[in-house]
Chain A
Amino acid sequence: MPLQQKHLLGLEGVSAADIGLMLDTATTFREILERPIPKVPTLRGLTVVNLFYEPSTRTRISFELAEKRLSADSVNFTTSASSVKKGETLKDTIRNIEAMKIDMVVVRHQAAGVPHFLTQCVQAAIINAGDGMHEHPTQALLDMFTLRERFGRLDGLRVAIIGDISHSRVAGSNIRGLMTMGAEVMLCGPKTLMPRDVEKFGVQVTCDVEDAIAWADVLNVLRIQLERQEAGLFPTMREYHAEFGITRQRLERAKKEITIMHPGPINRGIELDADVADADYSVILDQVTNGVAVRMAVLYLLGGNEESVS
C-alpha cells in the first residue's frame, strides 16, 4: 500500500500504518547501506532541492547522502534568512526553483509552517527537515527506527524526552510519532522551557529528572541552547547541568539499563556527560546511521511515481 500523503510536513495526523510503512521501508534501505556499493538506481531522473534557511550539518548531509544513494539528482540551496530578507520572498524563491523542474523539496526554515506554505506555492513534494519550533519528522522517524531496532517494538515503550521542550521540533515530532505508535512519553525540563498545555498531547510532564530516569526505558536528551539562557529562561549552564544533566551517577541510581539518545550536536558536560554519550547503552551514532536509511525511505515513498515505486 502506498503512503497516504503527498508531503511529509510533520507527524501530526500521520497514521500508524504510514509510520510503519516508512520504518519498514527504511529497514530495506538500512540493509542496502551495508552493501559494498551502497547505491540503488531507484530515484534516477528525479531532482531534489535541499533548501536550508538555517545552518545545519548533519541533517543536510544526511539528506544529501540519502538522495545520492538513491541516484537522485540533488542541488543545495543554503542561505541565512537574514540575507534573503533583503531580497526576494520565499514564494518567489521556491517558484523559481520549481521552474527549473524540481520534483521534491527538502526544506529547513526557522519559521514554523514554512513547509505548509510551500505546498501552497508549488506542485513538488515537500519534506520538512525542521520548521521553527514545530516539527522535524525525519528526526523522529529515525529515532523510532533506532528504538524499534533495539527493542523490537515501540508499543508500550517508555520514552522520556529531556530538556528544552518549548523550542524543540525534535520533541514536537517525537511526541506525535511515539504516541501514534503506542509508546508512552514523558517530558522533563525546566518549567520555563515547557510549552503551554503540552500535556494535551497525552504525555506526562515532570520537572524532576530523577523521576524521569526512574520511569523511562529510553532518554532522548535534547541540546540546550545558550540563547535560552541569554533570554533568561534558565540561570546558568552550571545549574542546568546540576538539575537536568544526564550523568552516570544519576543513571546508576536507577539500577536498570537505560538507552540514551540525542539528536545532536551534543553539549558534552551540559545536558549529557561525555561518558554517558559514549557508553554502550548510548545509540547516538546508530541514530545518525539510521538517519540516512530513514530519509532514503521517505524520499523513495514520496518521490516514487508509479513506475519507480514498482
Chain B
Amino acid sequence: MNDIKKAKALLLHGGEVCDAADGNRQKIDLLIAHGRIEKIGTGLEEGFHGEKIDVSGCLVTQGVIDMHVHLREPGREDEETIESGCAAAMAGGVTAVCAMPNTTPPCDSQEVVRFLKKRAEEQLVEVLPVACITKKREGKEITEMAELVKAGAVAFSDDGSPVVNAAVMRAALEYSSMFEVPVIEHCEDPHLVAGGQMHEGWMSTRLGLPGMPDIAEAVMVARNIALAEYCGGHIHIAHVSTAKSVEYVRRAKENGVKVTCEVTPHHLTLTDEALIRYDTNLKMNPPLRSHEDVEALLVGLRDGTIDVIASDHAPHSLEEKDVEFAAAPFGILGVETMLGIVLSRLVQAGELRLEEALRKMIIAPRQVLGLPLPRFQEGEPANVTIFRPEESWTVRKETLHSRSRNMPYEGWELSGRVYGVLNRGYVWTAGL
C-alpha cells in the first residue's frame, strides 16, 4: 500500500463532486491546500504548481465513516492494530472509524481513550473511541461518562455484550443524556441465545447447530426502546438483523422515541443458508438471518427506519477461525469491503439509491454521533472519499490490508473501486 502523504497542494480535477448531504452532483474541481479545500471551481489549473490528480470517472464525496469497527488494539495486536485497521479503512474509502471498546483492557477509562487518540494521531483515518457503558464491560456499574466524553469518547457501548440489567441500562441512558452522546447497544438476551451458534430456524435444524432466535435480539430492542422512551436518552441499536427489530424501531420512531440504528452489509446481502458448509467465516453475532429478515432490513433501509450502514469489522486470527464451527469466535471483517458491497449489491442491484446509500455511510452516522458534517466549501477541511462507481474489482484475501483474513467475500465481484481518500491534512491514493 502506498503511504499517506501530506495534502499540501493538490488539484482533484475531472471528477464529479457529490455532496452526500443533499445528493447534489456537479463536475467541478477541488483545489486542496494544507488539508483544506481552498477553491472549488473550474479552470483551477492555471497558475497551479502542485500535484494534479485526474479523477475523471470518479465520484468525489465526503469521507465515509464506519461507526462500528473493532480495532483490537490494545490487547489483540495479532488480529488488528490501529495502523492496520486504518489502512484497511483507507483502502475501503473510509476516513473515520468508531473504535469499539471490547479490547484488553477495555476502553472504560480516560487512559485508554487517550491511548487510542494518541496512537491514531498520525493516521489519515480518524479514530473515534467508543467507551464502555459499564466498568470492565461487566454490566454492573456505569463508567465515568463525563470524563470519558471530555477525553474524546463519542458514544458508549459494551459491544459484544448487552447490558443485561435493565436498571443499569436506565441509569446509562439517563446519565449519558447529560452529554448528548448515544448509548450503543448490542441487543441480545443472553438466556435466549445461550450456547447458540447461528440463527434459529430451518437451517439451524438442518445443520444441527444450536440456534440464536430472532426474539433474543427483538426483546432487547423492545426493552431498550421502552427505557429510552421513559428516560429520554438516545439509544442506538447496533447491527439490527431481524424483521422484528426493524418493526419495533419503526414504531418507536413514529412515537418520537430517540432511537437510531445501523445495519451491516453482510446482514443485507447474506442469509443463514450460506452456512451450509459450516464456514466459520460466516459465523458472526448477530448471526446471518432468514430471507424474510433480509427483505425487512432492506425495506427499513429504504423507508428511513435504519439510519446507518456500518460494518461491524471484527478481525479474528486464522488460528481462531480455522477450527470446528462451535469453537470459532463470532465476527468477520468488513471495513474494507463495506463501500464496495453497498455500491454493487445494494445500489447496482437496485435495492437502494446511490444518494441514500451515501447518506447512510457519510451523513447519518455523524448525525447519530452528533459530529460535525464535512462540507464541500472553501476553507473547510478536506475530508473526502474518491471512488469509481463503474469500475469493478474482485475481493481477494491476500490483498486485504487488515491483519486478519476472516471474511466470506473471497472472489466476490464488486463495483465501486476506491481511488483514494483525504482527511486530516493527508492524502492516500490506491495507485490505480
Contact = CB atoms under 8 A, between A and B. Distances in A.
Given A111-B327, A114-B324, A117-B325, A134 B207 contact: yes
Interface stretch (A193-201, A241-249, A267-275, A290-298): A193-201
Q: Which 10 A-B pairs have the closest CB atoms?
A: A134-B208, A113-B278, A111-B326, A197-B202, A112-B208, A133-B208, A195-B205, A113-B325, A111-B324, A114-B324
B204 interface: yes
A12 interface: yes
Contact of B211 (A90, A116, A196): A196
Given A113-B278, A196-B200, A200-B202, A90 B324 contact: yes
A196 B209 contact: no
Contact of A197 (B201, B277, B323): B201
Given A117-B278, A117-B324, A117-B325, A112 B201 contact: no
Contact of B207 (A89, A113, A117, A198): A113
Contacts of B49: none
A179 B213 CA distance: 27
A179 to B, nearest CB: 13
B406 to A, nearest CB: 15
B326 A112 contact: yes
A89 B319 contact: yes
Contacts of A90: 323-324, 327
Interface residues of B, number: 22
A310 B379 CA distance: 84
B211 A111 contact: no
Interface size class of A (residues with CB under 8 A): 20 to 34
Nearest to B203: A197
A140 to B, nearest CB: 13
B209 A132 contact: yes
B328 to A, nearest CB: 10
A131 interface: yes
Contacts of A197: 201-202, 205
18 contacts: A89-B319, A89-B322, A91-B322, A91-B323, A111-B324, A111-B327, A112-B209, A113-B324, A117-B325, A133-B210, A134-B207, A134-B208, A172-B208, A195-B205, A196-B201, A196-B205, A198-B205, A200-B202
Contacts of B204: 195-196
A131 B202 CA distance: 18
Given A117-B325, A132-B209, 10 more contacts: A89-B322, A111-B327, A112-B208, A112-B278, A112-B325, A112-B326, A195-B205, A196-B201, A196-B205, A200-B205
Contacts of B208: 112-113, 131-135, 169, 172
Interface string B194-218: 0001001110111111110100000
A109 B324 contact: yes
A264 B90 CA distance: 59
A113 B209 contact: yes
Nearest to A10: B208
Nearest to B290: A197
Nearest to A89: B323
Nearest to A169: B208
Nearest to A173: B208
Contacts of A89: 319, 322-323, 327
A134 B326 CA distance: 12
Contacts of A132: 208-209, 326
Interface string A116-154: 110000000000000111110000000000000000000
B205 A111 contact: no
A98 B72 CA distance: 35
B32 to A, nearest CB: 49
A138 to B, nearest CB: 16
Nearest to B327: A111
A169 B205 CA distance: 10
Nearest to B326: A111
Contacts of B325: 111-113, 117
A111 B211 CA distance: 13
B94 to A, nearest CB: 33
Interface in A79-119: 89-91, 109-114, 116-117
Contacts of A112: 197, 207-209, 278, 325-326
A131 B319 CA distance: 22
A291 to B, nearest CB: 21
A91 B209 CA distance: 20
Contacts of B197: 112
A116 B275 CA distance: 12
A52 to B, nearest CB: 15
Contacts of B209: 112-113, 132-134
Interface in B173-225: 197, 200-202, 204-211, 213
Q: Which of A109, A117, A131, A197 has the most CB of B within 10 A?
A: A117
B318 to A, nearest CB: 11
A113 B283 CA distance: 13
A197 B324 CA distance: 25
Interface in B321-342: 322-327
A197 B201 CA distance: 6
A127 B238 CA distance: 41
B258 to A, nearest CB: 34
Given A132-B326, A196-B200, A12 B319 contact: no
B298 to A, nearest CB: 22
Contacts of B211: 196
Nearest to A197: B202
A187 B75 CA distance: 49
Contacts of A111: 324-327
Contacts of B322: 89, 91
A116 B197 CA distance: 16
Contacts of A133: 208-210
A109 B278 CA distance: 15
